[in-house]
Amino acid sequence: MNTVKRALYFVGLLFCAEPLSGAGNEGWSAEAPQRVRIAYASRSSSAMPLYMALQKGYFKAEGLEVEIIQMNPRLGATAVVNGDVSFATPFTSTFRGILQGFPMKLVFIHIKKGPYYVMVRPEIKDVQQLKGKKLGVATIKGTDQLVAEEMLQAKGFNPNQLQAVAIGDGPVRMQALVSGAVDAISVAPPHDLMLLKMGYPALAGPPEVGLPSAGMLTSDRLIKENPLLVKRTLKALLRSHHYIFGESTRDDSNLDQMAAPADRYRRALL
């Protein structure tokens, strides 16, 4: 299965009515599975590695029983520190918690730059027509908004002339654009392709360099008390990334080496 087919298959997984059980083609760990809860923000490509690791059984192979929870990005840092979830994936909102003093660490990056597109209503042909218009985003000053503002600024538009409106999940942002509640939205695949087919153009696409949009952020406490759980989680996600890009994951020793940052964090905290 090539990368494009895998991406299309993933889109189907995201919009299933029932959550995935994690059944796959890997065996159970000999130990009792450890429960892990991972918070993610939106049904988009940023969640692809998590769902693929569930579907292919990579978490189970590491002895993990993983639950994926959709959560408002602004709640992620608090949920991690309180122990309500083990990891949160939204980068900007959760990393902002670290800058504010939350005892957390970034241990993994899923997407190194925001894959966002500024999609607009059909009557808007130029960025300057966005003056005074409403831009639908997931959360105020989240990654999608910051990336959209950078892209528009690069095209000579002052983003301060836009009114950002917090709407939430990608499909909800799509509906807001179609209904006319907003004039533009910042959205990641596959929603940009769906809108293009409906006649809604893209004024800007992903930048060459930008903010990471998704990663794995966890608490200092978890890194110190259970570094093996962190390492196993990262190893499963690395296997997922390798699978998505059609690369071999048979060299487990290499994956162990790539997941080593969790051990370094643990030593730094001791």
Render 106-129 in DSSP notation, one character per residue: EEEEEESS---EEEE-TT--SGGG
**7 and 106 co-located in one domain:** yes
Range of the structural domain that residue 198 is part of: 117-204
Number of independent structural domains in the chain: 2
Contact 85, 68 (CB under 8 A): no
Cα 220 to the center of its chain, rounded Å: 21
**What tens digit of pLDDT does each residue of 58-102 get?**
999 999 999 999 888 788 889 999 999 999 988 888 888 888 899
Average pLDDT over residues 136-140: 90
pLDDT digit string, tens, across residues 164-219: 999 988 899 999 999 999 999 999 888 899 999 999 999 998 876 567 778 899 99
What global pTM score does this model have?
0.59
Can you give the CATH number for the domain in which 105 is found? 3.40.190.10
Q: Look at residue 260 in the predicted model and tell me its pLDDT.
A: 47
Same domain, 134 and 185: yes
Domain end among 187, 204, 221: 204
Euclidean distance between the first and final Cα of the chain, in Å?
Answer: 44
Residue 119 has pLDDT above 60, yes or no: yes
- Residue 90, classed as helix, strand or coil, is strand
Query: Which of 180, 204, 228 is where one domain is finished?
Result: 204
